[in-house]
Copies of this chain bind each other. A is one copy, B any other.
Amino acid sequence: MPTEHRPDGAEETMARDPSRRRSRQPRPRRGLAQLPWRRLRNPYRPIEVLSGEQVEAIHQASLTILEEIGMDFLHPEALAILRTAGADVAAGGERVRFDRALIEQSVARAPSSFTLHARNPAHDLTIGGNHLCFTAVASPPNVSDTERGRRPGNFCDYCDLLRLGQAFNIIHMFGGYPVEPVDLAPEIRHLDAIHAFVTLTDKVYHGYSLGRERIRDAIEMTRIARGVDEDQLLREPSLFSIVNTSSPLRLDGPMIEGIIELARCNQPVVITPFTLSGAMSPVTLAGALAQQNAEALAGLAFAQIVNPGAPVVYGGFTSNVDMKSGAPAFGTPEYVKATLAGGQLARRHGLPYRSSNANACNVVDAQAAYESQMSLWAAVMGHANIVMHAAGWLEGGLTASFEKLVIDVELLQMQAELLAPLQVDEASLGLDAIREVSPGGHFFGAAHTLERFETAFYAPVVSDWRNYGSWLEAGAPDATARAHRIYKEVLAEYQPPPLDPARREELDAFVAKRKEEGGVRAA
Protein backbone atom coordinates (compact mmCIF):
# COMPACT_ATOMS: atom_id res chain seq x y z
CA MET A 1 0.00 0.00 0.00
CA PRO A 2 1.17 3.51 -0.72
CA THR A 3 3.17 4.83 2.18
CA GLU A 4 2.10 8.42 1.65
CA HIS A 5 -1.35 7.47 2.89
CA ARG A 6 0.02 6.83 6.35
CA PRO A 7 1.76 9.95 7.54
CA ASP A 8 2.40 8.54 10.99
CA GLY A 9 3.19 5.06 9.75
CA ALA A 10 6.83 5.51 8.77
CA GLU A 11 7.79 3.12 11.54
CA GLU A 12 6.65 0.13 9.53
CA THR A 13 8.91 0.97 6.64
CA MET A 14 11.78 1.45 9.02
CA ALA A 15 11.25 -1.69 11.05
CA ARG A 16 11.05 -3.78 7.89
CA ASP A 17 14.05 -2.32 6.16
CA PRO A 18 17.04 -4.37 7.31
CA SER A 19 19.50 -1.72 6.14
CA ARG A 20 18.08 0.53 8.85
CA ARG A 21 18.81 -1.92 11.63
CA ARG A 22 22.00 -1.88 13.59
CA SER A 23 24.30 -4.66 12.50
CA ARG A 24 25.64 -5.20 16.00
CA GLN A 25 23.04 -6.93 18.17
CA PRO A 26 23.57 -6.70 21.93
CA ARG A 27 24.62 -9.94 23.62
CA PRO A 28 21.90 -12.04 25.26
CA ARG A 29 21.46 -10.81 28.82
CA ARG A 30 22.27 -12.85 31.87
CA GLY A 31 19.64 -12.68 34.59
CA LEU A 32 17.00 -10.00 34.60
CA ALA A 33 17.84 -6.72 32.91
CA GLN A 34 16.44 -4.26 35.44
CA LEU A 35 17.31 -0.83 36.74
CA PRO A 36 19.94 -0.74 39.48
CA TRP A 37 18.89 0.04 43.06
CA ARG A 38 18.25 3.75 43.10
CA ARG A 39 16.87 6.19 45.65
CA LEU A 40 14.32 8.30 43.84
CA ARG A 41 13.74 12.03 44.09
CA ASN A 42 10.95 13.83 42.30
CA PRO A 43 12.26 16.98 40.58
CA TYR A 44 8.88 18.08 39.18
CA ARG A 45 6.35 20.44 40.66
CA PRO A 46 3.44 18.50 42.14
CA ILE A 47 0.10 18.67 40.33
CA GLU A 48 -2.27 20.70 42.48
CA VAL A 49 -6.03 20.21 42.24
CA LEU A 50 -6.82 22.55 45.12
CA SER A 51 -6.14 26.25 45.44
CA GLY A 52 -4.39 27.41 48.60
CA GLU A 53 -7.73 28.68 49.89
CA GLN A 54 -9.38 25.32 49.25
CA VAL A 55 -6.61 23.52 51.14
CA GLU A 56 -7.21 25.86 54.04
CA ALA A 57 -10.99 25.44 53.90
CA ILE A 58 -10.61 21.65 54.07
CA HIS A 59 -8.11 21.90 56.89
CA GLN A 60 -10.33 24.23 58.92
CA ALA A 61 -13.31 21.92 58.37
CA SER A 62 -11.17 19.07 59.74
CA LEU A 63 -10.36 21.07 62.84
CA THR A 64 -14.07 21.81 63.29
CA ILE A 65 -14.81 18.07 63.02
CA LEU A 66 -12.27 17.27 65.72
CA GLU A 67 -13.42 20.16 67.90
CA GLU A 68 -17.18 19.68 67.63
CA ILE A 69 -17.80 16.05 66.67
CA GLY A 70 -14.61 14.45 67.96
CA MET A 71 -13.10 11.02 67.37
CA ASP A 72 -13.44 7.74 69.30
CA PHE A 73 -10.21 6.33 70.76
CA LEU A 74 -11.05 2.78 71.81
CA HIS A 75 -8.37 2.32 74.44
CA PRO A 76 -8.26 3.52 78.07
CA GLU A 77 -4.53 4.35 77.97
CA ALA A 78 -5.05 6.62 74.96
CA LEU A 79 -7.95 8.35 76.70
CA ALA A 80 -5.80 8.98 79.76
CA ILE A 81 -2.88 10.29 77.69
CA LEU A 82 -5.17 12.59 75.73
CA ARG A 83 -6.96 13.87 78.83
CA THR A 84 -3.60 14.72 80.37
CA ALA A 85 -2.59 16.52 77.19
CA GLY A 86 -5.65 18.73 77.45
CA ALA A 87 -8.11 17.06 75.08
CA ASP A 88 -11.78 16.97 76.00
CA VAL A 89 -12.48 13.30 76.83
CA ALA A 90 -16.12 12.46 77.50
CA ALA A 91 -16.60 11.14 81.03
CA GLY A 92 -17.05 7.36 80.90
CA GLY A 93 -16.91 7.43 77.06
CA GLU A 94 -14.40 7.08 74.27
CA ARG A 95 -15.19 10.28 72.38
CA VAL A 96 -12.29 12.75 72.29
CA ARG A 97 -12.68 16.37 71.19
CA PHE A 98 -9.59 18.34 70.33
CA ASP A 99 -8.98 22.03 70.67
CA ARG A 100 -7.78 23.39 67.31
CA ALA A 101 -4.53 24.59 68.85
CA LEU A 102 -3.83 21.20 70.45
CA ILE A 103 -3.97 19.55 67.03
CA GLU A 104 -1.90 22.22 65.29
CA GLN A 105 0.75 22.40 68.00
CA SER A 106 1.10 18.63 68.34
CA VAL A 107 1.35 17.98 64.63
CA ALA A 108 3.90 20.79 64.29
CA ARG A 109 6.32 18.75 66.42
CA ALA A 110 6.61 15.98 63.82
CA PRO A 111 9.76 15.92 61.66
CA SER A 112 9.31 16.72 57.98
CA SER A 113 11.60 13.86 56.99
CA PHE A 114 13.57 11.02 58.52
CA THR A 115 15.71 8.03 57.56
CA LEU A 116 14.43 4.48 57.66
CA HIS A 117 17.30 2.10 58.35
CA ALA A 118 17.40 -1.26 56.62
CA ARG A 119 19.33 -4.34 57.73
CA ASN A 120 21.53 -3.60 54.72
CA PRO A 121 22.61 0.07 55.01
CA ALA A 122 22.70 0.25 51.20
CA HIS A 123 18.92 -0.03 51.43
CA ASP A 124 18.39 2.81 53.92
CA LEU A 125 15.68 5.21 52.77
CA THR A 126 14.85 8.85 53.31
CA ILE A 127 11.15 9.46 53.89
CA GLY A 128 10.01 13.02 53.19
CA GLY A 129 10.89 15.99 51.02
CA ASN A 130 10.91 15.02 47.38
CA HIS A 131 12.03 11.44 48.08
CA LEU A 132 9.94 8.63 46.66
CA CYS A 133 9.83 4.98 47.82
CA PHE A 134 7.86 2.06 46.43
CA THR A 135 6.65 -0.86 48.57
CA ALA A 136 5.49 -4.32 47.60
CA VAL A 137 1.79 -5.18 47.88
CA ALA A 138 0.60 -5.63 51.45
CA SER A 139 -2.10 -7.53 53.31
CA PRO A 140 -4.28 -9.32 50.72
CA PRO A 141 -5.97 -12.48 52.05
CA ASN A 142 -5.53 -14.21 48.67
CA VAL A 143 -2.73 -14.83 46.22
CA SER A 144 -2.87 -15.73 42.54
CA ASP A 145 -0.93 -16.58 39.48
CA THR A 146 -2.20 -17.70 36.09
CA GLU A 147 -0.94 -21.25 36.54
CA ARG A 148 -2.43 -22.11 39.92
CA GLY A 149 -5.25 -19.59 40.07
CA ARG A 150 -6.52 -17.70 43.10
CA ARG A 151 -5.89 -19.34 46.46
CA PRO A 152 -5.86 -18.33 50.14
CA GLY A 153 -2.69 -16.65 51.32
CA ASN A 154 -0.05 -19.05 52.65
CA PHE A 155 3.49 -18.96 53.93
CA CYS A 156 5.01 -20.56 50.82
CA ASP A 157 3.62 -17.86 48.50
CA TYR A 158 4.43 -15.28 51.17
CA CYS A 159 8.11 -16.26 51.01
CA ASP A 160 8.11 -16.25 47.20
CA LEU A 161 6.67 -12.74 47.19
CA LEU A 162 9.37 -11.67 49.66
CA ARG A 163 12.00 -13.13 47.33
CA LEU A 164 10.58 -11.13 44.41
CA GLY A 165 10.46 -7.97 46.51
CA GLN A 166 14.10 -8.51 47.38
CA ALA A 167 15.13 -9.30 43.79
CA PHE A 168 13.48 -6.31 42.11
CA ASN A 169 15.55 -3.21 42.80
CA ILE A 170 12.64 -0.85 42.15
CA ILE A 171 10.81 -2.24 45.20
CA HIS A 172 12.39 -0.20 47.97
CA MET A 173 10.70 -1.81 50.96
CA PHE A 174 7.88 -3.98 52.25
CA GLY A 175 4.71 -2.27 53.40
CA GLY A 176 3.31 -5.31 55.21
CA TYR A 177 2.86 -9.01 54.50
CA PRO A 178 2.69 -9.20 50.69
CA VAL A 179 0.03 -11.81 51.31
CA GLU A 180 -1.48 -12.90 54.61
CA PRO A 181 0.02 -16.33 55.47
CA VAL A 182 -3.23 -17.69 56.84
CA ASP A 183 -1.77 -21.19 57.22
CA LEU A 184 0.28 -19.88 60.14
CA ALA A 185 -1.54 -19.68 63.48
CA PRO A 186 -2.34 -16.06 64.44
CA GLU A 187 -0.46 -16.45 67.73
CA ILE A 188 2.91 -17.06 66.06
CA ARG A 189 2.30 -15.74 62.53
CA HIS A 190 4.11 -12.44 63.10
CA LEU A 191 7.19 -14.30 64.38
CA ASP A 192 7.59 -16.45 61.27
CA ALA A 193 6.59 -13.61 58.98
CA ILE A 194 9.17 -11.18 60.36
CA HIS A 195 11.77 -13.95 60.55
CA ALA A 196 11.26 -14.39 56.81
CA PHE A 197 11.57 -10.62 56.21
CA VAL A 198 14.93 -10.65 57.98
CA THR A 199 16.31 -13.79 56.38
CA LEU A 200 14.95 -13.56 52.82
CA THR A 201 15.36 -9.79 52.36
CA ASP A 202 17.60 -7.00 53.57
CA LYS A 203 15.23 -4.11 52.87
CA VAL A 204 13.06 -2.08 55.24
CA TYR A 205 9.88 -3.84 56.28
CA HIS A 206 6.68 -3.18 58.19
CA GLY A 207 5.23 -4.48 61.42
CA TYR A 208 1.48 -4.66 61.99
CA SER A 209 0.06 -2.61 64.83
CA LEU A 210 -2.06 -5.48 66.09
CA GLY A 211 -1.68 -5.03 69.78
CA ARG A 212 1.23 -4.37 72.09
CA GLU A 213 2.87 -7.81 72.07
CA ARG A 214 3.13 -8.21 68.31
CA ILE A 215 4.60 -4.81 67.68
CA ARG A 216 7.05 -5.25 70.59
CA ASP A 217 8.18 -8.56 69.09
CA ALA A 218 8.58 -6.87 65.70
CA ILE A 219 10.68 -4.07 67.20
CA GLU A 220 12.92 -6.52 69.08
CA MET A 221 13.40 -8.74 66.01
CA THR A 222 14.31 -5.67 64.01
CA ARG A 223 16.85 -4.64 66.62
CA ILE A 224 18.42 -8.10 66.48
CA ALA A 225 18.37 -8.14 62.68
CA ARG A 226 20.21 -4.84 62.52
CA GLY A 227 22.67 -5.89 65.19
CA VAL A 228 22.20 -2.70 67.23
CA ASP A 229 21.37 -1.97 70.86
CA GLU A 230 18.16 -0.34 72.06
CA ASP A 231 19.68 3.12 72.21
CA GLN A 232 20.80 2.95 68.62
CA LEU A 233 17.40 1.65 67.52
CA LEU A 234 15.81 4.56 69.37
CA ARG A 235 17.98 6.95 67.35
CA GLU A 236 17.51 5.07 64.06
CA PRO A 237 13.97 4.37 62.88
CA SER A 238 14.05 0.87 61.37
CA LEU A 239 10.51 -0.51 61.43
CA PHE A 240 7.40 1.23 60.24
CA SER A 241 3.72 0.52 60.63
CA ILE A 242 0.59 1.55 58.78
CA VAL A 243 -2.22 2.42 61.17
CA ASN A 244 -5.65 2.60 59.59
CA THR A 245 -8.38 4.48 61.33
CA SER A 246 -11.70 2.72 61.48
CA SER A 247 -13.51 5.40 59.54
CA PRO A 248 -15.57 7.34 60.31
CA LEU A 249 -13.70 8.88 63.21
CA ARG A 250 -12.59 5.87 65.19
CA LEU A 251 -9.26 4.43 66.19
CA ASP A 252 -9.28 0.80 67.37
CA GLY A 253 -7.51 -0.51 70.47
CA PRO A 254 -4.86 -2.74 68.79
CA MET A 255 -3.90 0.12 66.44
CA ILE A 256 -3.65 2.52 69.38
CA GLU A 257 -1.27 0.14 71.15
CA GLY A 258 0.84 0.08 68.00
CA ILE A 259 1.00 3.87 67.89
CA ILE A 260 2.00 4.05 71.56
CA GLU A 261 4.72 1.42 71.33
CA LEU A 262 6.18 2.64 68.04
CA ALA A 263 6.12 6.32 68.95
CA ARG A 264 7.82 5.58 72.29
CA CYS A 265 10.55 3.66 70.42
CA ASN A 266 10.87 6.41 67.81
CA GLN A 267 9.74 4.10 65.00
CA PRO A 268 7.57 5.67 62.27
CA VAL A 269 3.80 5.37 62.21
CA VAL A 270 1.78 6.09 59.08
CA ILE A 271 -1.76 7.17 59.94
CA THR A 272 -4.03 6.28 57.04
CA PRO A 273 -7.77 6.89 57.25
CA PHE A 274 -9.78 4.59 55.00
CA THR A 275 -12.24 7.22 53.88
CA LEU A 276 -14.13 5.62 51.03
CA SER A 277 -16.30 8.46 49.76
CA GLY A 278 -19.99 7.56 49.92
CA ALA A 279 -19.45 4.74 52.44
CA MET A 280 -17.16 5.61 55.34
CA SER A 281 -17.03 9.33 54.47
CA PRO A 282 -19.23 11.89 52.69
CA VAL A 283 -20.13 11.26 49.05
CA THR A 284 -18.42 14.54 48.14
CA LEU A 285 -14.64 14.58 47.74
CA ALA A 286 -14.26 17.76 49.78
CA GLY A 287 -16.13 16.10 52.65
CA ALA A 288 -14.16 12.87 52.35
CA LEU A 289 -10.91 14.85 52.37
CA ALA A 290 -11.98 16.91 55.37
CA GLN A 291 -12.72 13.70 57.24
CA GLN A 292 -9.48 12.06 56.04
CA ASN A 293 -7.56 15.07 57.26
CA ALA A 294 -9.38 15.09 60.60
CA GLU A 295 -8.71 11.41 61.27
CA ALA A 296 -5.08 11.60 60.13
CA LEU A 297 -4.40 14.69 62.22
CA ALA A 298 -6.02 13.15 65.31
CA GLY A 299 -3.84 10.04 64.99
CA LEU A 300 -0.71 12.04 64.22
CA ALA A 301 -1.34 14.46 67.09
CA PHE A 302 -1.79 11.47 69.40
CA ALA A 303 1.57 10.03 68.30
CA GLN A 304 3.23 13.38 68.90
CA ILE A 305 1.63 13.66 72.33
CA VAL A 306 3.01 10.20 73.19
CA ASN A 307 6.48 11.17 71.98
CA PRO A 308 7.02 14.66 70.58
CA GLY A 309 9.19 14.54 67.48
CA ALA A 310 8.59 10.86 66.73
CA PRO A 311 8.65 10.13 62.97
CA VAL A 312 5.19 9.97 61.40
CA VAL A 313 3.67 9.99 57.93
CA TYR A 314 0.38 11.44 56.68
CA GLY A 315 -1.52 8.69 54.88
CA GLY A 316 -4.15 9.22 52.18
CA PHE A 317 -6.38 6.44 50.89
CA THR A 318 -9.55 8.27 49.89
CA SER A 319 -11.42 6.75 46.98
CA ASN A 320 -15.03 6.33 45.95
CA VAL A 321 -17.54 3.51 45.77
CA ASP A 322 -19.27 2.07 42.71
CA MET A 323 -22.59 3.82 42.36
CA LYS A 324 -24.30 0.57 41.42
CA SER A 325 -23.09 -1.87 44.05
CA GLY A 326 -21.39 0.07 46.82
CA ALA A 327 -18.16 -1.79 46.02
CA PRO A 328 -14.93 0.18 46.42
CA ALA A 329 -13.31 1.60 43.28
CA PHE A 330 -9.67 2.60 42.80
CA GLY A 331 -7.72 4.42 40.12
CA THR A 332 -10.81 6.49 39.34
CA PRO A 333 -10.78 10.22 38.54
CA GLU A 334 -12.03 10.80 42.09
CA TYR A 335 -9.19 8.67 43.46
CA VAL A 336 -6.67 10.69 41.46
CA LYS A 337 -8.05 13.99 42.70
CA ALA A 338 -8.14 12.79 46.31
CA THR A 339 -4.55 11.57 46.00
CA LEU A 340 -3.30 14.85 44.58
CA ALA A 341 -5.27 16.81 47.18
CA GLY A 342 -3.94 14.56 49.94
CA GLY A 343 -0.41 15.51 48.94
CA GLN A 344 -1.32 19.16 49.21
CA LEU A 345 -2.73 18.61 52.71
CA ALA A 346 0.36 16.66 53.83
CA ARG A 347 2.64 19.41 52.55
CA ARG A 348 0.49 22.01 54.29
CA HIS A 349 1.31 20.21 57.56
CA GLY A 350 4.98 19.75 56.58
CA LEU A 351 4.66 15.95 56.77
CA PRO A 352 5.78 13.05 54.58
CA TYR A 353 2.92 11.60 52.51
CA ARG A 354 1.82 8.04 51.85
CA SER A 355 -0.33 7.00 48.88
CA SER A 356 -0.92 3.74 46.95
CA ASN A 357 -0.85 2.02 43.57
CA ALA A 358 -4.41 0.75 43.67
CA ASN A 359 -6.88 -0.86 41.28
CA ALA A 360 -10.18 -2.67 41.63
CA CYS A 361 -9.72 -5.24 38.89
CA ASN A 362 -10.25 -9.02 39.18
CA VAL A 363 -7.67 -10.01 36.58
CA VAL A 364 -4.34 -8.77 35.22
CA ASP A 365 -5.72 -7.11 32.10
CA ALA A 366 -6.03 -3.68 30.50
CA GLN A 367 -8.25 -2.42 33.35
CA ALA A 368 -5.74 -3.48 36.01
CA ALA A 369 -3.07 -1.58 34.09
CA TYR A 370 -5.04 1.58 33.38
CA GLU A 371 -6.38 1.86 36.93
CA SER A 372 -2.90 1.29 38.33
CA GLN A 373 -1.48 3.94 36.03
CA MET A 374 -4.09 6.41 37.22
CA SER A 375 -3.17 5.69 40.85
CA LEU A 376 0.55 5.69 40.24
CA TRP A 377 0.65 8.93 38.26
CA ALA A 378 -1.43 10.54 40.98
CA ALA A 379 0.87 9.24 43.71
CA VAL A 380 4.04 10.34 41.94
CA MET A 381 2.72 13.71 40.77
CA GLY A 382 1.08 14.27 44.17
CA HIS A 383 4.59 13.85 45.60
CA ALA A 384 3.88 10.82 47.72
CA ASN A 385 6.96 9.76 49.67
CA ILE A 386 5.77 6.21 50.25
CA VAL A 387 3.73 4.49 47.54
CA MET A 388 2.15 1.50 49.25
CA HIS A 389 1.00 -1.57 47.31
CA ALA A 390 3.21 -0.35 44.49
CA ALA A 391 3.75 -3.86 43.08
CA GLY A 392 1.33 -6.77 43.04
CA TRP A 393 -2.00 -5.39 44.28
CA LEU A 394 -5.09 -6.72 42.55
CA GLU A 395 -8.83 -6.86 43.16
CA GLY A 396 -9.07 -3.88 45.48
CA GLY A 397 -6.43 -5.40 47.73
CA LEU A 398 -8.06 -8.82 48.13
CA THR A 399 -5.43 -10.61 46.04
CA ALA A 400 -1.68 -10.44 45.63
CA SER A 401 -0.88 -11.30 42.02
CA PHE A 402 2.52 -12.57 40.92
CA GLU A 403 1.96 -11.36 37.37
CA LYS A 404 0.66 -7.97 38.49
CA LEU A 405 3.78 -7.59 40.61
CA VAL A 406 6.01 -7.96 37.56
CA ILE A 407 3.88 -5.63 35.44
CA ASP A 408 3.95 -3.08 38.26
CA VAL A 409 7.76 -3.35 38.32
CA GLU A 410 7.64 -2.11 34.73
CA LEU A 411 5.33 0.76 35.70
CA LEU A 412 7.54 1.73 38.63
CA GLN A 413 10.74 1.54 36.62
CA MET A 414 9.22 3.81 33.98
CA GLN A 415 8.31 6.34 36.66
CA ALA A 416 11.86 6.13 38.02
CA GLU A 417 13.26 6.86 34.57
CA LEU A 418 10.80 9.68 34.12
CA LEU A 419 12.16 11.32 37.28
CA ALA A 420 15.74 11.20 35.98
CA PRO A 421 16.73 14.62 34.63
CA LEU A 422 16.71 15.37 30.91
CA GLN A 423 20.22 16.37 29.89
CA VAL A 424 20.64 19.38 27.63
CA ASP A 425 24.22 20.27 26.73
CA GLU A 426 26.38 20.47 23.65
CA ALA A 427 26.97 16.71 23.45
CA SER A 428 23.32 15.81 23.95
CA LEU A 429 22.06 18.45 21.51
CA GLY A 430 24.04 16.46 18.93
CA LEU A 431 24.40 19.11 16.23
CA ASP A 432 27.47 17.33 14.87
CA ALA A 433 25.44 14.15 14.48
CA ILE A 434 22.71 16.05 12.64
CA ARG A 435 25.39 17.61 10.40
CA GLU A 436 26.92 14.18 9.77
CA VAL A 437 23.63 12.48 8.91
CA SER A 438 22.22 15.46 6.99
CA PRO A 439 18.69 15.70 5.47
CA GLY A 440 17.26 12.37 4.31
CA GLY A 441 19.82 10.16 6.07
CA HIS A 442 19.46 8.09 9.23
CA PHE A 443 21.12 7.98 12.61
CA PHE A 444 21.58 4.24 13.18
CA GLY A 445 25.20 4.27 12.10
CA ALA A 446 26.19 7.72 13.37
CA ALA A 447 29.12 7.80 15.81
CA HIS A 448 26.95 9.83 18.22
CA THR A 449 24.40 6.98 18.19
CA LEU A 450 26.87 4.11 18.47
CA GLU A 451 28.56 5.69 21.47
CA ARG A 452 25.30 5.90 23.39
CA PHE A 453 22.99 3.29 21.96
CA GLU A 454 23.28 0.56 24.60
CA THR A 455 22.24 2.78 27.47
CA ALA A 456 20.40 5.64 25.82
CA PHE A 457 16.88 4.38 26.50
CA TYR A 458 14.95 2.58 29.17
CA ALA A 459 15.05 -1.18 28.52
CA PRO A 460 11.70 -2.68 29.51
CA VAL A 461 11.16 -5.82 31.57
CA VAL A 462 7.72 -6.82 30.27
CA SER A 463 6.97 -4.69 27.20
CA ASP A 464 7.16 -6.56 23.92
CA TRP A 465 8.03 -4.38 20.91
CA ARG A 466 8.53 -7.13 18.35
CA ASN A 467 6.68 -6.66 15.11
CA TYR A 468 3.33 -8.40 14.80
CA GLY A 469 4.66 -11.28 12.72
CA SER A 470 7.51 -12.15 15.08
CA TRP A 471 5.22 -11.82 18.07
CA LEU A 472 2.65 -14.12 16.46
CA GLU A 473 5.33 -16.69 15.63
CA ALA A 474 6.49 -16.59 19.25
CA GLY A 475 3.02 -17.72 20.35
CA ALA A 476 1.46 -14.26 20.73
CA PRO A 477 2.15 -13.96 24.47
CA ASP A 478 0.33 -11.08 26.13
CA ALA A 479 1.88 -8.98 28.90
CA THR A 480 0.40 -11.20 31.61
CA ALA A 481 1.88 -14.36 30.07
CA ARG A 482 5.27 -12.67 29.81
CA ALA A 483 5.03 -11.47 33.41
CA HIS A 484 4.33 -15.05 34.49
CA ARG A 485 7.48 -16.31 32.82
CA ILE A 486 9.52 -13.48 34.30
CA TYR A 487 8.41 -14.06 37.88
CA LYS A 488 9.34 -17.73 37.57
CA GLU A 489 12.77 -16.86 36.18
CA VAL A 490 13.47 -14.32 38.90
CA LEU A 491 12.45 -16.78 41.61
CA ALA A 492 14.70 -19.44 40.08
CA GLU A 493 17.66 -17.06 40.19
CA TYR A 494 16.94 -15.67 43.65
CA GLN A 495 19.79 -15.67 46.17
CA PRO A 496 19.16 -14.72 49.81
CA PRO A 497 21.14 -11.69 50.97
CA PRO A 498 23.97 -12.39 53.42
CA LEU A 499 23.09 -12.30 57.13
CA ASP A 500 25.60 -12.30 59.97
CA PRO A 501 25.42 -15.80 61.57
CA ALA A 502 25.40 -14.39 65.09
CA ARG A 503 22.38 -12.23 64.31
CA ARG A 504 20.67 -15.16 62.64
CA GLU A 505 21.28 -17.31 65.69
CA GLU A 506 19.93 -14.66 68.04
CA LEU A 507 16.87 -14.18 65.82
CA ASP A 508 16.17 -17.93 65.67
CA ALA A 509 16.50 -18.16 69.44
CA PHE A 510 14.12 -15.24 69.95
CA VAL A 511 11.49 -16.81 67.71
CA ALA A 512 11.91 -20.22 69.40
CA LYS A 513 11.54 -18.66 72.85
CA ARG A 514 8.43 -16.69 71.89
CA LYS A 515 6.88 -19.76 70.30
CA GLU A 516 7.58 -21.72 73.47
CA GLU A 517 5.77 -19.02 75.39
CA GLY A 518 2.81 -19.55 73.06
CA GLY A 519 3.30 -16.43 70.96
CA VAL A 520 0.56 -13.86 71.28
CA ARG A 521 -2.58 -15.04 73.04
CA ALA A 522 -5.57 -14.47 70.74
CA ALA A 523 -7.59 -11.45 71.83
Contacts and interface: CB of A to CB of B under 8 A. Distances in A.
A304 interface: no
Contact of A337 (B283, B329, B418): B418
Given A397-B11, A424-B57, A1 B65 contact: no
Interface string A441-453: 1111010110011
Residue from A286, A430, A464 with most neighbouring chain B CB atoms (10 Å): A430
Contacts of A254: 4
Interface string A184-201: 001001000000000000
A208 B429 CA distance: 32
A408 B151 CA distance: 32
Interface string A403-445: 0000100110011011010111101111101110111111110
A480 B365 contact: yes
Nearest to A95: B439
A328 interface: yes
A151 to B, nearest CB: 12
Contacts of A372: 370
A36 interface: no
A259 interface: no
Contacts of A113: none
A163 interface: no
A252 interface: yes
Interface in A356-408: 356, 360-374, 377, 381, 388-389, 395-399, 407
A366 B407 contact: yes
Given A6-B139, A44-B47, A279-B443, A367 B463 contact: yes
Nearest to A47: B44
Contacts of A21: 325-326
Number of copies of this chain that the complex holds: 2
Nearest to A523: B4
Contacts of A395: 468
Contacts of A11: 274, 276, 327-328, 396-398
A323 B456 contact: yes
Contact of A287 (B58, B141, B434): B434
A140 B47 contact: no
A129 interface: no
A134 to B, nearest CB: 15
Contact of A398 (B4, B9, B246, B326): B9
A213 interface: no
Interface stretch (A260-268, A314-322, A500-508): A314-322
A457 B58 contact: no
Contact of A242 (B8, B58, B252, B324): B8
13 contacts: A8-B397, A12-B398, A14-B279, A61-B431, A279-B444, A280-B442, A323-B454, A333-B417, A333-B420, A334-B457, A366-B369, A369-B373, A373-B374
